[in-house]
Amino acid sequence: MTARSWANDRFDGPPAVTTVDPVINKSYRFDGSPAVSIPADHFATRWTGSIRPLYSRPYTLTAVSDDTVRLWVDGRLVIGSTAPHEARTDRASVALTAGHRHTLRVEPTERTGEAHMKLLWSSSGQEQRIVPRSALYPS
């Protein structure tokens, strides 16, 4: 996934850093932030790319976040957790098609606290786990 991170929690101005992350599984509690140029509190990241499942079925996408998170699949907002919160999980059920690259956008913000962001998936016959690098593609 392509990760663009801002040195503010409003996505204002140009990103301070752009990287490619093979999975969305971050805990900045110990690392501080996405880059040295970004403060440990009050930052935002936008991951963009696509997700490609092996099977056609409904999937439960789970976002573990602290402080806010929004998640879009194929341009449709499926998680809109915009009130600041402690670390928690938000879930959405989304029908995904085998072999098709569904567009994905994930936007967490960090105000204060633990700075967690993890994207997991599960479906019938598949236990919940971090979405693997083999299913994610950068934009």
- Rounded to a whole number of angstroms, the CA Rg of the chain reads 14
Q: pLDDT at position 61, please?
A: 98
What is the pLDDT averaged over residues 27-39?
85
Residue where the block lists tokens 């402080």: 67
The chain-wide mean pLDDT, for the chain, equals 95
In the structure encoding, which two tokens stand for residue 98, read together? 């085998």
Its pTM stands at: 0.95
pLDDT digits (tens, 9 = 90+) for 63-114: 999 889 999 999 999 999 999 998 899 999 999 999 999 999 999 999 988 8
Domains, the chain, ranges and CATH? 2-138 (3.90.182.10)
Structure tokens at 114: 């633990």
* Burial classification of residue 65, based on how many CB atoms lie within 10 Å of its CB (0-12 exposed, 13-18 middle, 19 or more buried): buried
Residues 6+ apart with CB under 8 A from 41: 110, 111, 112, 113, 115
